[in-house]
C-alpha cells in the first residue's frame, strides 16, 4: 500500500465502504457460497450505503433508487455463483451490478419520459450535491476527489454515473471522440494518484 493512501486512511479514518477490509469481503463470499442469508445482511451493513449511493447518483430519485437498490441486492444474492474472485473484488462486482441496473433504468423510455416533466432546477441542484446524507468519513473523500481537475471529475461523472457512451460523452463535453478515452485514462490515473492506489 502506497504512502498517499495510508496518509488518506490516517487523515480521514477508515471509510468502511471502500472496503480495504478484505476479511469482511472474504466472509461474505464464503457465506454466499454456503447460500447463507447472513451474507445479505453483511453486504447491506458494510456496502449498502455505497451501493445505494451509486444508484442514487445515477437516478437522482430517492424512491426509484431505493427500488433499484432492492432489485440489485436480490440480483447479487441470486447471481452470487457467477462472481469470480480471480477477476476482481466482490465490492467492484457489486458496484457494477448496481450501476448496470441503474443505467438500464436511466436509458429506459419510461424513465426518460418522467425525466422530461421534472423541474430543471431540481436536476441542477441534485447534480451539484453529490451526497444526500453525509457520513463524517466521506466528507474527506469528497474533498480529496474535489482536488481533481474539473474536467477529470466531469469525465468520470459522465461515463460512470450518466451511462454515456464515448460518443455521447464527446457530444456532452464538446470534445473530439478520441479525447474522451485519453481524458478518462488521465482522470483515472489522477484519481489513483490522489488515492494512492497501485503503481502510477
Q: Which residues bind another protein (CB under 8 A)?
A: 15, 17-19, 37, 40-41, 44, 48-50, 52-54, 56-57, 65-66, 69-70, 73-74, 77-78, 86-89, 91-92, 95-96, 99-100, 103, 130-135, 138, 141-142, 145, 156, 159-160, 165-166, 181, 184-185, 188, 191-192, 195, 197-199
Which of 67/116 has CB closer to another protein? 67
Which of 44/111 has CB closer to another protein? 44
Nearest alpha carbon to residue 69 among 97, 93, 35, 90? 97
Q: Shortest distance, CB of residue 101 to another protein, whole angstroms?
A: 12
125, 156 Cβ separation under 8 angstroms: no
CB atoms within 10 A of CB 29: 16
Which of 28/40 has CB closer to another protein? 40
Which of 28/50 has CB closer to another protein? 50
Q: Shortest distance, CB of residue 153 to another protein, whole angstroms?
A: 10
Q: Shortest distance, CB of residue 111 to another protein, whole angstroms?
A: 18
89-113 in b/e form (b: 16+ CB < 10 A) is ebbebbbebbbebbbebbeeeebee
Q: What angle do CA 33, 36, 40 make, to 5 degrees?
A: 100
Q: Shortest distance, CB of residue 134 to another protein, whole angstroms?
A: 8
Q: What angle do CA 55, 194, 171 make, to 5 degrees?
A: 55
Amino acid at each position: 500500500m502506497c504512502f498517499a493512501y495510508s496518509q488518506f486512511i490516517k487523515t480521514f479514518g477508515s471509510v468502511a465502504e471502500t472496503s480495504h477490509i478484505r476479511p469482511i469481503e472474504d466472509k461474505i463470499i464464503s457465506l454466499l457460497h454456503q447460500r447463507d442469508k447472513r451474507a445479505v445482511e453483511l453486504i447491506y451493513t458494510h456496502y449498502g450505503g455505497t451501493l445505494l449511493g451509486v444508484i442514487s447518483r445515477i437516478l437522482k430519485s430517492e424512491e426509484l433508487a431505493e427500488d433499484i437498490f432492492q432489485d440489485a441486492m436480490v440480483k447479487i444474492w441470486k447471481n452470487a455463483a457467477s462472481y469470480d474472485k480471480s477477476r476482481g473484488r466482490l465490492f467492484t462486482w457489486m458496484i457494477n451490478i448496481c450501476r448496470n441496473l441503474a443505467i438500464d433504468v436511466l436509458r429506459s423510455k419510461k424513465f426518460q419520459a418522467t425525466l422530461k416533466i421534472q423541474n430543471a432546477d431540481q436536476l441542477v441542484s441534485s447534480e451539484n450535491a453529490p451526497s444526500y446524507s453525509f457520513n463524517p468519513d466521506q466528507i474527506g473523500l469528497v474533498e480529496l476527489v474535489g482536488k481533481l481537475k474539473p474536467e477529470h471529475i466531469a469525465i468520470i461523472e459522465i461515463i460512470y454515473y450518466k451511462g454515456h457512451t464515448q460518443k455521447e460523452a464527446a457530444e456532452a463535453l464538446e470534445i473530439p471522440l478520441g479525447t474522451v478515452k485519453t481524458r478518462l485514462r488521465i482522470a483515472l490515473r489522477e484519481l489513483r494518484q490522489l488515492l494512492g492506489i497501485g503503481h502510477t
